[in-house]
Amino acid sequence: MSRLIDENKVKSTLSETSKDNEGNAVVDYQNLVYNFDRITNDIAHIYRVKKPCKSCDALYIKDDAHIYLIEFKNVRKSRVPKKELNQKAYDSIMTLQMAFFPEFSLEELKMRVVLIVVYNDAEIVEKEQDSVSFDAFKKKLADLSKSQNKILFGLEIFQEVLYKAVFTLEKQEYVKTMHNVIFSS
């Protein structure tokens, strides 16, 4: 890692990096990751004094060919801020290159990095109560729209442009399909 970052100050757990502003963790895993928000803050102080960068929450570097940037949103899918995610996707890859891989071009880096957004649709209780018929309608629409690796929030523009792959997953889907794949040895 570049000497721009004090590695000991930015190590964390996946659970810690998944916490929202109220301290509620989206996932409860103790896998070691980098707190990418902290790294981005440090880099922004060096290179962008007057304008802060947006960033993903966690960085996991399995090896130089398998790098994961993970953003957690402890909100329903309908409440995920799309514009903010686009800025995070862009700023995060730039920060990653500066802080960890300055020897790689963006073209080389994009062949190694996967962006994952995990949102918490199932466990967030909305204040307003939907009607039974509207719930059935929403479920039917959700069933019709399900497709393998459907990229949400306008992030499809980054796949194969800045990232090898982009995944937008509900928390339970992440737990069932992605977590063990990423963190297996």
Half-sphere exposure of 127 toward its Cβ, with a 13 Å CA cutoff? Answer: 1
Question: Which pLDDT does position 43 carry in this prediction?
Answer: 84
List pLDDT tens digits, range 65-112. Answer: 999 999 999 999 999 999 999 999 999 999 999 889 999 999 999 999
> Do strands 32-35 and 11-13 pair parallel, antiparallel, or not at all (unpaired)?
antiparallel
Question: Which pLDDT does position 128 carry in this prediction?
Answer: 44
Single-letter code of the amino acid located at 1:
M
Q: Are 69 and 92 in contact (CB under 8 A)?
A: yes
> 100 vs 143, which has greater pLDDT?
100
> Do strands 66-73 and 113-119 pair parallel, antiparallel, or not at all (unpaired)?
parallel
Q: How many residues does the chain have?
A: 185
List pLDDT tens digits, range 24-58. Answer: 999 999 999 999 999 998 888 877 776 778 999 99
> Could you identify the residue written with the tokens 């960085």?
59
Q: Are 38 and 16 in contact (CB under 8 A)?
A: no
Question: Which pLDDT does position 145 carry in this prediction?
Answer: 44
